């Protein structure tokens, strides 16, 4: 239990330092990576590729171990559902990423340099997550892993300020 906690702390530290060094926590750098029409800066691509290169090799072997070193079992990976929900979520994230230049991990790392925009970003990230949870718990959002949500419903969820009841949402004229 203690060893597991220490591991989590150490991995977080390594991860955070990696994000800092690779400049993933620098919004201007991220925007530069996304700005294909301007002065495109592809260097973050190498960050992603090298990280994936490491995991691609290790993930073939590690989950075959009987158990992780400091816990009882490996977490199961998410099922392979490709649906509108996945793409809509990814697209929403992409828009937010393009606007702010932050994703969650780098946002936390940027907190360490007391960046006001990072503080706002992390706060808003939690609010956005909470709103989704709230909507889900109220069953305002169709939550079905097997059925894809229609893009109309997703568009309603997007405007978190005026989430409607599911019945109204599906009949709303999109």
The binder of another protein chosen from 41, 96, 142, 166 (CB under 8 A): 96
Work out the angle at residue 97's Cα, subtended by the Cα atoms of residues 129 and 107, and round it to the nearest 5 degrees: 70
Size of interface with another protein, in residues (CB under 8 A): 112
By beta-carbon proximity to another protein, the closer residue of 124 and 170 is 124
- CA 160 centroid distance within chain: 18
Least distance to another protein from the beta carbon of 152, Å? Answer: 14
By beta-carbon proximity to another protein, the closer residue of 60 and 173 is 60
The binder of another protein chosen from 43, 46, 86, 144 (CB under 8 A): 86
Q: Considering only residues 47 through 76, tell me which ones interact with another protein, judged by CB under 8 A.
A: 47-48, 50-56, 58-59, 62-63, 65, 67-75
Report the first-to-last Cα separation within the chain, whole angstroms. 51
Torsion of CA 58, 59, 60, 63, to 10 degrees: 110
126 binds another protein (CB under 8 A): yes
d(CA 163, CA 142): 12
The binder of another protein chosen from 110, 140, 156, 169 (CB under 8 A): 110
174 binds another protein (CB under 8 A): no
CA nearest to 31, candidates 103, 87, 86: 103
d(CA 111, CA 131): 22
Least distance to another protein from the beta carbon of 31, Å? Answer: 4
Q: Considering only residues 133 through 152, tell me which ones interact with another protein, judged by CB under 8 A.
A: 133, 136
Q: How many CB atoms lie within 10 A of CB 92?
A: 14
130 binds another protein (CB under 8 A): yes
């Amino acid at each position: 239990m203690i060893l597991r906690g220490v591991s989590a702390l150490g991995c977080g530290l390594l991860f955070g330092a990696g994000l800092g060094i690779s400049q993933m926590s620098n919004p201007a750098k991220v925007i530069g990576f996304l700005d294909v029409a301007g002065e495109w800066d592809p260097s973050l691509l190498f960050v992603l590729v090298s990280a994936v290169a490491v995991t691609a090799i290790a993930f073939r072997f590690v989950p075959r171990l009987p158990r992780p070193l400091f816990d009882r079992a490996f977490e199961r990976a998410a099922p392979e559902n490709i649906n509108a929900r996945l793409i809509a979520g990814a697209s929403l994230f992409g828009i937010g990423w393009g606007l702010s230049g932050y994703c969650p991990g780098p946002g936390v790392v940027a907190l360490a340099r007391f960046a006001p925009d990072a503080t706002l970003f992390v706060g808003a990230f939690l609010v956005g997550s909470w709103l989704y949870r709230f909507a889900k718990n109220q069953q305002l959002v169709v939550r079905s892993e097997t059925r894809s949500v229609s893009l109309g419903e997703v568009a309603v969820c997007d405007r978190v300020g005026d989430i409607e009841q599911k019945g109204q949402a599906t009949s709303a004229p999109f």
